C-alpha cells in the first residue's frame, strides 16, 4: 500500500514538474531562441553524467529556447533547465512565482536559492536554484522537491561543467 502512495506522489510531482516546465517553456518561447555557447549534446552529456548516489536523469529534451532534464535523487523529483542568460531577470521580477531567499556562489557562478510561491494555488512546494553562467550565455534552473537537501542541489551544480 505504501508503494502505491509513493507512486501516486511521484506521479503527482512529475506532473507538476512537467506543468512547471510547460509554463516556463511558454515564457521562454516568447524570448529569442537559446543563444548559449553550448549544444544540446553537451548539455545532455553533462546532466546524464552527474555522479551522485541515488541520482538518475531519465529524460532530456531540446526546444529552440531551452534545454531540459527530469531527474530523481533517491526517489525525490527534480528538473533542470538551461535558458538564456536574461532568464533570471524575467523569473526574479515575477515575485508571484519565485522569491530568492539566498544569494551565493557555486564554482565561481552566482547562484540564487528560493522557492516557488504558488503553494496556495495548489503547486507542490519546490526549492528553486538558479545559477548564472555568463561565459556560456546561460542560466541553469533546478526545481526540486523541498525534501531534497539544498546541499544535493549544490552538488549537482558543482558537476555542471561546460
| Per-residue pLDDT of the chain in tens (162 residues, 90 and over written 9) | 333 344 555 555 555 555 555 455 445 445 678 999 999 999 999 999 999 999 999 999 998 989 999 999 999 999 999 999 888 887 777 666 677 899 999 999 999 999 876 666 667 778 999 999 999 999 999 999 999 999 999 999 999 998
36 secondary structure, DSSP code: -
Integer Cα distance of 130 and 144 in angstroms: 12
At residue 85, the 3 state secondary structure works out as coil
Phi, psi angles (nearest 5°) of residue 92: -70, -20
- Map grid coordinates 533517491 to a residue: 74
User: Could you say which architecture CATH assigns to the domain 2-158?
Assistant: 3-Layer(aba) Sandwich (3.40)
Q: Where are the alpha helices (DSSP H) in the chain?
A: 2-29, 40-48, 87-92, 150-158
User: In a 10 Å sphere around its CB, with 0-12 CB exposed, 13-18 middle and 19+ buried, how is residue 26 labelled?
Assistant: exposed
Of residues 30, 42, 15, the one with CA closest to residue 140: 42
Q: Given the C-alpha cell 507512486, which residue does it identify?
A: 7
> Residue ranges of the domains in the chain?
2-158
pTM: predicted TM-score of the whole model, two decimal places: 0.80
Amino acid at each position: 500500500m505504501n508503494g502505491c502512495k509513493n507512486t501516486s506522489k511521484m506521479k503527482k510531482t512529475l506532473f507538476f514538474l512537467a506543468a512547471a516546465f510547460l509554463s516556463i517553456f511558454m515564457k521562454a518561447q516568447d524570448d529569442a531562441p537559446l543563444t548559449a555557447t553550448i549544444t544540446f549534446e553537451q548539455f545532455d552529456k553533462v546532466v546524464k553524467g552527474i555522479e551522485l548516489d541515488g541520482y538518475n536523469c531519465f529524460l532530456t529534451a531540446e526546444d529552440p529556447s531551452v534545454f531540459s532534464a527530469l531527474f530523481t535523487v533517491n526517489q525525490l523529483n527534480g528538473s533542470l533547465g538551461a535558458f538564456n542568460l536574461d532568464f533570471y531577470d524575467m523569473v526574479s521580477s515575477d515575485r508571484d512565482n519565485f522569491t530568492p531567499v539566498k544569494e551565493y556562489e557555486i564554482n565561481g557562478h552566482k547562484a540564487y536559492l528560493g522557492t516557488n510561491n504558488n503553494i496556495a494555488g495548489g503547486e507542490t512546494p519546490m526549492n528553486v536554484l538558479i545559477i548564472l553562467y555568463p561565459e556560456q550565455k546561460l542560466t541553469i534552473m533546478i526545481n526540486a522537491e523541498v525534501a531534497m537537501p539544498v546541499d544535493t542541489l549544490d552538488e549537482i551544480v558543482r558537476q555542471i561543467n561546460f
